[in-house]
Amino acid sequence: MSNKTAHTLNDLIAIARDGKEFYEEAAQKVDDTELRTLFARMATTKAQIVNELSSAVQAAGGKPEDSGTFVGSMQHMYGKIRAALGDKEYGYVAELEESEDRLLEAFDHVSRDADTPPAARDIVVRLMPEVRACHDVMRSRKLSMKNAR
């Protein structure tokens, strides 16, 4: 694997780490037991994605990203404010769905980018079904909560 592969995967690690941390926080803040369980499960899934991507970066001789992104921090903060000012559960679900959009878009971009090294693309394509499934769960939850309002 090349430095470009490590760099590409580290970008995805940072975005997935944003989601993991946001889910962990949300799981502690919501009152709904079902949502708390869902958020904890999603955090675990994000941790697994981070671990797999990190292993690939290490195998390439690189150093895995150990923090999130500025955009993720801002989204996390906005989610906390939104939850504090309105329907807490819906606020977290809506912002977490946005986080899922961001991760899915990043994975889609890497998988389709002609400049993505084959080793990075292989890992991304292998993890894509899991990323898409998480996105779809949160999108469905957001829509059902929005329609119930």
- Find the CATH number of the domain harbouring 9: 1.20.1260.10
**pTM of the entire predicted model:** 0.89
Residue 2: the pLDDT is 60
- Of the candidates 18, 10, 143, 6, the residue with the CA atom closest to the CA atom of residue 62: 6
Q: Please give the average pLDDT of every successive group of 10 residues along the chain, which has 149 residues.
A: 77 94 93 95 96 89 83 71 76 92 94 88 94 96 90
Distance (Å, whole) CA 86 – CA 74: 18
Residue 83: the pLDDT is 67
Supply the DSSP symbol for 62: -
Residue 69: the pLDDT is 77
Distance (Å, whole) CA 9 – CA 65: 9
- Tokens for 125, please give them: 């394509």
The structural domain count of the chain equals 1
Residue 77: the pLDDT is 72
Which runs of consecutive H residues, i.e. helices, occur in the chain? 3-29, 33-59, 70-85, 88-112, 118-148
- Of the candidates 55, 77, 54, the residue with the CA atom closest to the CA atom of residue 67: 54
Q: What is the CA radius of gyration of the chain?
A: 16
Residue 25's domain comprises 3-148
Distance (Å, whole) CA 123 – CA 52: 9
